[in-house]
Amino acid sequence: MQPVLSLNGISKSYGRIHALKNVSFDVPEGAVFGLLGPNGSGKTTMLSIILDILKADTGSFAWFGLPGAPETRQRIGSLLETPNFYHYLSAVDNLTITSAISSRGNAEDIDRVLEIVKLSERKKSKFSTYSLGMKQRLAIGAALLGDPQVLVFDEPTNGLDPVGIAEIRELIKVLAKRGKTIIMASHLLDEVEKVCTHVAILKRGHLLTAGEVDIVLANEDIVEVSSNNLDQLLSVLEKFPGHTHIKQDGKLVQLFLPVGTARLEEINRFCFEKGITLNLLLVKKKSLETKFLELTND
């Protein structure tokens, strides 16, 4: 299947600063693609290049197999960096302009997206009177106009309150379920972990890794166990066959095993036979945060 977006050796410098160095990856259709990286790692630069705001020094990209062009951008709903609207115009007027430029949506659709982002009551108010969160919602609404197949969100939950963040997360899940391809940059790892199917990690312009979340994260299985006597538990588990290492984490013991070899019943039986009753036993996926820190730490 043809990827929705494919990047091929993209590099970009600002003077002596290399913002992106030879970045290549594909975004498959229907993916929720998380783009991660610390501040200044090149996430927004990358999104700006694929949206034709910045020119890459070298390399190329293709949307739907075609080089970037106004027609391809019209098919993509995008929110890049900040909500960009005419301050003296109302939400409806601003979206009318978005709709006219992108050929996405119409008057009814404008009402529909304002309903989704909960701005219907303030739709006639000037953009300049909006709070930060409302501005962000309007930008998300603009991206949703015309129900595009592909969405690009740069830090979509910026400025939103906890309820707003949860709502946007739900919205992204619903969109993903409907088969939309979503490319999302974020430094909120928790957020990405909850919704993304794929992930790419950038650091100082280098692509560290890219691929399906499960594959990127899971290079080992972690089993968390606990019992009343931790010392005894530790010494028993030392003898458990096949583990790579053991770590004590507060009142828990973490047992690391090669990918796909964690079998809870075996561990349970092993401990019980050695006279230990467990009060906790679960497989823990490595969190994205752990992986991220592992990859981005020097």
Footprint on this chain of another protein (rule: CB under 8 A): 51-55, 69-71, 73-74, 78, 80, 82, 84-89, 93, 96-98, 100-103, 142
Q: Which two tokens stand for residue 224?
A: 């968390």
Smallest separation, CB 181 to another protein (Å) = 17
Q: Between 51 and 271, name the residue whose CB sits nearer to another protein.
A: 51
Smallest separation, CB 127 to another protein (Å) = 9
**Which residues have a Cβ under 8 Å from the Cβ of 44 and sit 6 or more positions away?**
80, 81, 154, 185
**Which residues have a Cβ under 8 Å from the Cβ of 6 and sit 6 or more positions away?**
25, 26, 27, 61, 62, 65
Q: Between 54 and 252, name the residue whose CB sits nearer to another protein.
A: 54
Exposed/middle/buried for residue 159 (C-beta within 10 Å: 0-12, 13-18, 19+): middle
Q: Between 131 and 235, name the residue whose CB sits nearer to another protein.
A: 131
Q: Between 41 and 45, name the residue whose CB sits nearer to another protein.
A: 45
Smallest separation, CB 65 to another protein (Å) = 18
Kindly tell me the sign of the dihedral angle through the C-alpha atoms of 165, 189, 283, 250. Answer: negative
Q: Between 80 and 208, name the residue whose CB sits nearer to another protein.
A: 80
Inter-residue contact 297 to 208 (CB < 8 Å): no
Q: Between 122 and 291, name the residue whose CB sits nearer to another protein.
A: 122
Smallest separation, CB 28 to another protein (Å) = 23
Instruction: Tell which residue, 287, 61, 253, has the closest CA to residue 152.
Output: 61
Kindly report the number of other CB atoms within 10 A of residue 95's CB atom.
Answer: 26
Smallest separation, CB 148 to another protein (Å) = 11
Smallest separation, CB 15 to another protein (Å) = 12
Q: Rounded CA gap, 31 and 34, in Å?
A: 9
Give backbone dihedrals phi and psi of 44, rounded to 5 degrees, phi first.
-70, -35
Instruction: Tell which residue, 113, 75, 70, has the closest CA to residue 91.
Output: 113
